[in-house]
Amino acid sequence: MSSEKERLKRLQTMRRIALNLIVIVLVFTVGVVVGRQAEKRYLSTKDIVEEGSTEVVEATTEEVVTEAVTEISTEEAVDNTVSENTVSENRTQDTPKPKWNFDYAAPADKLKLADHAAIRSSYDETVALNLADKEVINNSSLDFSNMKIACLGDSITQGVGGATPYPEYLKEILGAKEVVNLGIGGSTVCSDHDDGVQAMSDRMDQIPSDTDLAIIIGGTNDNFYQAEWQFGFLYWDSKGDGTFCGDMQLLMRRFKWLFPDMRVIFFTPPSNTKIDELKAENPSLLDQSRYAEATTYIGAEEGMPVVDLFNENFLNAHDANVSTNLMQDEVHFNSQGNEILATRIASEIIKRYQ
């Protein structure tokens, strides 16, 4: 009886173990199947997500590049606009200035006014010189757009009677950055003059310090008012304080002392008929040729270039054709005469630059 109970108990135990094993196997199998299906779903989802992410990244990158290109294009457009707006200023600032030719040697012309007048009239001489000057200007490749010029002188420089002054024409002909007109009617070279107008030798502070080139035309008023003793001593080392010769020498030296980097060209005034009338009233007045001689002589002593318009027989008011067509009075030129004078000066400037 007991043995039968023990056998039944063992059978029950074996059934429980078998059932447990079956359950375990079923659970394992189900777990494997479920796991594999989950893995497949995961991998499928992962691929979809990764593919979609790539598309998103690529799209985003394309948008960024497009925005960057657009931004760069916009910046370039702005830069180009700014560049276009400032190109003229930059060109002026960056344009190299013509260099002064220290080796330039002016043609030696020993002829005096009478010699030139014997060859041809002043009007014909002026026309010939004007044609030659225009040829020099037209053949020049020099760029004066970054240069500042100052014109020191009397009423011939200042301009009177509504005529356009020669400095205005000079700026236009050369295309200079600026031409400053420092002409004052009645101004002399000599400081010993009591007409209330400062002499040119005392007006150096009026010349802007950034001037590249100065043009000086003086001596006409000195000639009109000075007695012979006020002319000075041309061939002496000491030419006389307060005289024309002494102050012309001082004027040239002050340029070298005060403006060592500034270039200077002196011009003698053309012959006028006013001095003839004044000399008839006051025989102590000197001939205009003495002032032209003094300017050229002292210029050679001081190493200053001088263009002798007087002895060139250029714009000589004694010529009826010059007086009628190019003058507005016995001393001053009309606008056409001033333009011819400016052309003459511009040509001489170009010749002295390289």
Phi, psi of 332 (to 5 degrees): -100, 145
Per DSSP, the residues of 187-205 read --S-S---SSSPPGGG-GG
Angle between helices 244-258 and 288-302 (to 10 degrees): 30
* Stretch (H or E) spanning 285: none
Per the prediction, the chain carries an average pLDDT of 83
Q: Residue 197's pLDDT is what?
A: 83
Render the burial of 119-147: b for 16+ CB within 10 Å, e for the rest.
eebbbebbeebbeebeeebeebebbbebb
pTM, two decimal places: 0.74
Residue 269 in tokens: 């005034």
Q: Residue 50's pLDDT is what?
A: 41
Look at 4 and 334; give whichever has higher pLDDT.
334
Contacts of 61 (CB under 8 A, 6+ apart): none
Query: Is 196 in contact with 185 (CB distance < 8 Å)?
Result: no
Q: In this structure, which amino acid lies at residue 256?
A: K
Least-confidence region, from 65-69, 105-109, 119-123: 65-69
Measured distance CA(307)–CA(265) in Å, rounded? 8
pLDDT tens-place string over residues 67-76: 443 443 444 4
Contacts of 123 (CB under 8 A, 6+ apart): 319, 321, 322, 325
Q: Say whether pLDDT at 201 is over 60.
A: yes
User: What is the mean predicted confidence (pLDDT) over 95-118?
Assistant: 93
User: What is the mean predicted confidence (pLDDT) over 226-233?
Assistant: 88
pLDDT tens-place string over residues 243-257: 999 999 999 999 999
pLDDT tens-place string over residues 131-161: 999 999 999 999 999 999 999 999 999 999 9
Look at 198 and 111; give whichever has higher pLDDT.
111
Pure H helices in the chain: 2-94, 113-119, 122-138, 155-158, 166-174, 220-225, 244-258, 274-281, 288-302, 320-326, 335-351
Residue 251, number of CB atoms within 10 A of its CB: 26
Q: Residue 24's pLDDT is what?
A: 62
CATH architecture of 113-351: 3-Layer(aba) Sandwich (3.40)
For the chain, domain boundaries: 1-94, 113-351
Render the burial of 260-274: b for 16+ CB within 10 Å, e for the rest.
eebbbbbbbbbbbeb
Q: Residue 180's pLDDT is what?
A: 98
Q: Say whether pLDDT at 30 is over 60.
A: no
* Stretch (H or E) spanning 216: strand 213-217
Query: Is 304 in contact with 263 (CB distance < 8 Å)?
Result: no
Q: Residue 178's pLDDT is what?
A: 98
Q: In this structure, which amino acid lies at residue 192?
A: D
pLDDT tens-place string over residues 303-334: 999 999 999 999 999 999 999 999 999 999 99
**Per this entry, what is the length of the chain?**
354
Q: Residue 115's pLDDT is what?
A: 96
Query: Is 326 in contact with 340 (CB distance < 8 Å)?
Result: yes
Q: In this structure, which amino acid lies at residue 336?
A: Q
Measured distance CA(153)–CA(189) in Å, rounded? 9
